[in-house]
Chains A and B, each alone.
Chain A
């Protein structure tokens, strides 16, 4: 089975440019998460969706960040305009939740973003 698929794997962009990161969750999973990993802050949850609906976006740093999940098999994280401090590895993860219990989440390979 294919795992969580993220694209691109690496992205280098100039400050001020728009960046779009993409994620295809595991088929059948109904929760999707976007995380950011930096040396300074570790793994931070940016936003998560349940059944394509954003549940908690309190981790989104500022208005420059936006995330969408138009359907169960695709999500995007957009940064506009990008800034050097956005440089990080962005992970997408998905899980299947059937009730109160928190299931394990499966992570993609991440997108390494460098903003110069």
Chain B
């Protein structure tokens, strides 16, 4: 079973629009960690955020914000006032305490910001 589901395969938005990338996870563990990574066209994977299962506070970093809701097992990512440089594939990932440091990645959402 897929532990991390990113249902949106591709999204296109016009520059300055807001966009939300969805991430739904599945785990039986009470202690787990959630991550978002960005993969720009150049190919590297860039770490964006880490959140543990005991901290449901939303987080904002500049134009980026994350909404963690345990009730719906979701960890969504919103980009406000999108820019062309935000065009990338974004991956959500889960790590469970009982499986150690292994990351389960979603299939990614390809975001294209049109100028």
Contacts and interface: CB of A to CB of B under 8 A. Distances in A.
Interface of A: 31, 33, 42-43, 45, 48, 50, 55-56, 89, 91, 93, 95, 97, 100-110, 112
B35 A104 contact: yes
B91 A43 contact: yes
Nearest to A95: B101
Contacts of A55: 100-101
Given A42-B107, A103-B50, 19 more contacts: A43-B91, A43-B105, A45-B102, A48-B101, A48-B102, A55-B101, A56-B100, A56-B102, A89-B43, A100-B97, A102-B95, A102-B97, A102-B100, A102-B101, A105-B101, A107-B46, A109-B43, A110-B43, A110-B44
Nearest to A97: B101
Interface in B55-75: none
B50 A104 contact: yes
Interface of B: 31, 33, 35, 37, 42-47, 50, 52, 91, 95, 97, 100-103, 105-108
